[in-house]
Amino acid sequence: MRSKKDTFLSNKGKRIIIVLFAFILLNLVSYVIDPYSSYWSYYFKRSVLSISEDLALSFVFCLLISESSIFISNKLNDSISWTEKPLKRLIIETGLNLVIIFASLAILDQLYRLMDEAETCIEIHSADKVRGFFQWIVVSVIIAFMIIGINTCNYLIVNWKNAAMKAAALDQLAVEAELQSLKLQIDPHFVFNNLSVLSELILVNQQLGYEYAENFSKIYRYMLVNSKKDIILLEEELKFLNSYMFLIKNRIGDGVTFEVNIDNVSKQLYLPPLTLQLLVENALKHNKTNKKNPLKISIYNMDEQALIVENILLPIENQLESSGIGIQNIIRRYDLLWQKQPEIIKDETTFKVKIPLIKQ
């Protein structure tokens, strides 16, 4: 996927073409505006060295105007977006370019004065000098705005393409997450195991059976309502996780323990839906659960920037075939939603996934 900085003028070859075009335009427009000025009358009467110096200064000037316009545009792309604050961006970018143009012209004027003193045989009337100077201003502004226009159009096109690609990718990932949740819903083992537990609880403890059925329905409701969303409040995700952990605890018993410790400030941040459920499911899928040595799953945060889902390693002998969605789905979603990525930390005893929390 192309980034915002990957614009037409970020290519060096294309930038040289722009500079050459600006150089030709500068001299051509200056001539067309006033072909009978004394400047052009004496132009080819000068020495080859003087003409070469003149052309070199013109080229350096065009290069300076072109590169400064591109530099200003790229820097402003990081701080002031055309799509969010177009008027502010236009005023600031135009103002900075005009400052560069006038500063460059002032330096160029001094250089030409030195050249004129060296060429004592050439006399150019002051009126022609003033007129020529204003012609340079007009042409310089045209060049600067031409470059601004090219870069701005390309920036907007790239942003539009990136937005379209992100939307398509997010839709695909949402469908994958939804399919995963639907798979969980219709998975005969999942349904059979939970219905078996429910029937046993009803016979032993009707109140607990009622609570089990309530949490069972909350899981389905959450999946149906939120699986298509890009992000969801951590507080809402934790409510869903509580229902999911309730079912697991009553189905597996003392074979698994959960520890959740998250501050209230972090609960108001966001993450992709089903993230915690996928990570808990991943831990259960790849580790043993028994009463003598229970699987411990901890969910906590050290600061407001990230959430950690950690489990001890009790690997099972015959690993279940992975669906390929789980953690990879989470990583790919973060790649599209946020500048930070989940971090996987694994050692001999623990497996951790550090999940960045998204600020809305």
> Does residue 162 have a pLDDT over 90?
no
d(CA 15, CA 279): 48
At residue 45, the pLDDT reads 73
Q: Which residue in the block uniquely carries the two structure tokens 């601004």? A: 148
At residue 123, the pLDDT reads 46
> Does residue 221 have a pLDDT over 90?
no
d(CA 250, CA 220): 17
Q: Dihedrals φ, ψ of 355, to 5°? A: -105, 115
> Does residue 70 have a pLDDT over 90?
no
Q: Measured at the alpha carbon of residue 269, what is the angle toward residues 267 and 272, in degrees to the nearest 5?
A: 105
Q: Select the highest-mean-pLDDT range: 133-147, 171-185, 222-236, 285-299.
A: 285-299
- Higher-pLDDT residue of 330 and 154 is 330
Residue-wise burial string across 204-222, b where 16 or more C-beta atoms lie within 10 A, e elsewhere: eeeeebeebeebbebbeeb
SS3 per-residue string spanning 206-275: HHHHHHHHHHHHHHHHHHHHHCCCCCEEHHHHHHHHHHHHHHHHHHHHHHEEEEEECCCCHHHCEECCCH
Q: What is the mean pLDDT of the chain?
A: 78
Following CA atoms 288, 182, 247, 313 in sequence, which dihedral angle do they give, to the nearest 10 degrees?
20
Q: Select the highest-mean-pLDDT range: 52-61, 237-246, 314-323.
A: 237-246
Structure tokens at 75: 């820097």
Tell me how crowded residue 59 is: count the other CB atoms within 10 A of its CB. Answer: 16
Strands 295-300 and 256-261, sheet pairing: parallel
At residue 121, the pLDDT reads 44
Give me the sign of the Cα torsion angle 283, 285, 288, 289.
positive
Query: Is the full-model pTM beyond 0.75?
Result: no
Per the document, the length of the chain is: 360
At residue 260, the pLDDT reads 96
Q: Are 334 and 341 in contact (CB under 8 A)?
A: yes
**Candidate from 3-17, 24-38, 76-90 with smallest mean pLDDT:** 3-17
> Does residue 49 have a pLDDT over 50?
yes
Q: Are 260 and 220 in contact (CB under 8 A)?
A: no
Domains and CATH numbers, the chain: 8-162 (no CATH), 187-356 (3.30.565)
